[in-house]
Amino acid sequence: MGNFIYDANLSFGKMEPIANGNFPKVLNLGKVPGSSDHYPGKESTNVDRMTADVCCAEPEGGSSLTLTVQGSKDGSTGWTDVGKNTFTLEDMKAGTCQAAISPNRFQYLRINVTVTGAFTGSAEAFLNTYAGK
């Protein structure tokens, strides 16, 4: 069974209306300055076998949404695709849209959305930490 309770600290933010572009937040998977977090032998944790989940509220108008998870070492340059999936309007209405995240060594993650058509409604994206898929 998947993780059905999302943590606000793992949110990429909300997009309203659903449109081309990036969700507003970038997740830092590494140590925060002054933090006592500990990642033995590494500067950040990994997200292998996790998913990026997009929860849509009342999507209408468009025909598809492509969700691309991107990683970066510094959070501002060198964004590389580490997960991607495409969903129809019917998929978006049916429930959570998920993209699997491939193993990578990036400390920062963001989510980019490409839509076909003009959508109404909103979407919020989360890192789903349930790794037992």
Q: How far apart are CA 26 and CA 108, in angstroms?
A: 7
Beta bridge partners of 122: 57
Domains in the chain (CATH in brackets) are: 8-128 (2.60.120.1110)
* pTM (2 d.p.): 0.89
Q: Where are the alpha helices (DSSP H) in the chain?
A: 89-94
77: burial class by Cβ within 10 Å (0-12, 13-18, 19+)? exposed
Q: In what order do the strands lie in the sheet with 11-15?
A: 11-15, 120-128, 51-60, 97-100
Q: What is the pLDDT along the chain (133 residues), one digit of tens a residue?
A: 454 578 888 999 999 999 999 999 999 998 766 777 666 667 777 888 899 999 999 999 999 999 999 999 999 999 999 999 999 999 999 999 999 999 998 999 999 999 999 999 999 999 998 865 5
The letter for the amino acid at 59 is P
Contact 54, 23 (CB under 8 A): no
